[in-house]
Structure 1
Amino acid sequence: MNDKLRPKTNKITGEIGQKIDIDPNIVTIIGLLISIFAGVLYASGNLGAGALFIIISGFCDVIDGAIARSHNRRTKFGGFLDSVCDRFADAAIIIGIIYSGYVDPVLGALAIHASLTVSYIRSRAESEGLNCTVGIAERAERLLIIIVGSFIAAILGGSHNVMAITIGLLTVLSYITVFQRVNYVWNELN
């Protein structure tokens, strides 16, 4: 999904980024804080609001890079900070869902592990000179799964089954992505 939408969204976000003159690292930190707040909302059982704040955080995650590119402020540290904050944000959201009791802690832990592993493989592959963006569940897809599942569960009155299915699906797709990325790296390096 990311590779197909990226050219279209880059044009839109680039225009927005040109109009915002703030340090992109500040936007990255704001996005992280919003994700942590989303996790708190999930922990309190507020699925709809949690999903809404994931959307807002996602906007920050997209716009920080657009600001950096538009104002010629791209730095290696900015990319590093963005990646670290994304990992904390992902964990905060899923920890909130676990704490709420909507999913079994073991399933939640597997979801966190799978999400972190997808990102780690990309980072490790990049250190070997590969651009490893393959796989069916990159970060945007994983967050979209949580958002859609949360809204459906909220409409159904806070359905534990829907959230368990949502996190189960996220976990399975993330592990499939892990396999796809390991396979890609293996083929490229051998």
Structure 2
Amino acid sequence: MRKDIKPLLRKSAKIVSVIPLTANQFTFLAIPLSVVAAYFLATENYFYGLIFVIFSILIDLLDGSFAEAKKQKSFFGNYWDALVDKMVEAIIYFGLAFNYPLLAFLCFSTTMLNSYAKPRVALIIETDNHDWPAIGDRADRLLLLIIGLLIANFITIQNIDIVQITLGIITIITFFGFMQRIIYAKKLIKKALREDKILPYLKK
């Protein structure tokens, strides 16, 4: 998705690059925005919760182009961006946990499992992002959450809790993606074994 909207992101980032912040500080802005989102989600004010969830996502979409505009792209920035993404999700689920403790816990747990399934393989073999199953990734989870909050705000269905259903769907899809990644990781490890490409420290 980012590739499709990259020109728009670059133009937008040039506009906001006048903000006197470094690229990493700009990335950090997503955290206080997500804290505000979590507060509104905890108090069941889903309209403002949705608004601030979207604001925090916009920071994530813009931060790479913001760094380019500031000429501050770095490997640490790439690492920092990924950490902030996880912190933002954790904060959002924390807000939802006030009203949906079990489902928020399951969403967060499956999110962490899904996220860890990929980088853990890099401790066994050399790998990258190519061809990894993407079902239940961050974009899917946040899109589902946004859709759920939109419906909860504007459509009332008697005796049906839209947010509860949304969290259930996120949990199922994310867990499915986690299982997909385990299967794919097993294939990569088997291939590396055949080609003798297991990382050297494991051969000792």
TM bucket, shorter chain: 0.7 to 0.9
Structure 1 residues 37-186: aligned runs within 5 Å? 37-99=36-98, 101=99, 103=100, 105-126=101-122, 128-131=126-129, 133-156=132-155, 161-186=161-186
* C-alpha contact (below 8 Å) 1:41/1:47 kept by paired residues: yes
| Structure 2: tracts of 5 or more residues without a match | 191-204
Shift of 1:168: 0.2
Greater fraction of residues in helix: 1
The whole-number CA distance in structure 2 between the counterparts of 1:160 and 1:148 is 15
1:24 aligns with 2:20: no
Moved more, 38-47 or 69-78: 69-78
The whole-number CA distance in structure 2 between the counterparts of 1:122 and 1:67 is 27
Shift of 1:175: 0.5
**CA offset digits 1:94-139 (Å, max 9, x no partner):** 111121x2x2x22211110111222222333455422164222211
Cα RMSD for the two superposed structures: 2.0
The whole-number CA distance in structure 2 between the counterparts of 1:148 and 1:28 is 24
| Number of equivalent positions | 183
* C-alpha contact (below 8 Å) 2:35/2:91 kept by paired residues: yes
Which is greater in Rg? 2
Look up the match of 1:189.
189
* C-alpha contact (below 8 Å) 1:135/1:176 kept by paired residues: no
| Structure 1: tracts of 5 or more residues without a match | none
